[in-house]
Structure 1
Amino acid sequence: MIHYLTEKELVAINYTLIKQISPTEDFGVKDPSALKAVVAQPRQNTFGAELYPTIYDKAAILFEMIINKHCFYNGNKRTAVMGLYVFLRKNKIQLVVSNKEIADYSVHVAVQKGKHRLTNEEIAKWIEINSQKIK
């Protein structure tokens, strides 16, 4: 069974990160409908078939959408990184990259636009390569 993140969990992650790292920044949900979409997207299916069939596909769409939908006033990339860690951890997977690697990758995902935008498959592959199952 897949354990998905909730809106409440993502809001708590964003709040905690802002308060710990940059307490003078505005925090909170800037776009509630975008946040709803972010939470719903990993569960999407078409005609009974999952749109994101693997845990890595689900993690990738969650990560990418938090970064690019700008649900929060600040800390979207930070929230995406921590959301990715929490989502994977809840599903017995651990990301095994340095803080610098994941920070650099989140910026890479954010700046790739148009025809250079990373596909969900590319992001999912990166996550899979850089993670391990927790026993």
Structure 2
Amino acid sequence: MFKNLKNDIPAGIVVFFVALPLCLGIALASGAPLFSGLISGIIGGIVVGALSGSKIGVSGPAAGLAAIVLVAIGDLGGFQNFLVAVVLAGIIQILFGVLKAGVIGYFFPSSVIKGMLTGIGII
């Protein structure tokens, strides 16, 4: 994981700078503070790039989720409550990973996943 760190850090910084306008635009479109777009770019570009070990991975915020985040911030009563929900979701994902619960994903047909992604694309 750390053997390519000297190459991963500069590549992550480049990904961060390339994705920065997208990160800020998604934060603005989703009703989140612009600083959260900056943080998502740093984590998605530099931190994940350095820790993932992937040769071709690019990570960061997804434009398709901007509308969902906007509605979630409104429904949950504000940005702070939305962040609590995101942290809780992350804890649950880590717990599922530790419990090797990823096999649950095999029970969802690929047509359901494709339909969900198509719906997000249409939004």
TM-score w.r.t. the length of structure 2 is 0.32
Give the structure with the higher percent helix.
2
TM-score w.r.t. the length of structure 1 is 0.30
Name which structure has the greater RCO, CA cutoff 8 Å, separation 6+: 1
Give the structure with the higher percent strand.
1
Q: Which has the larger radius of gyration?
A: 2
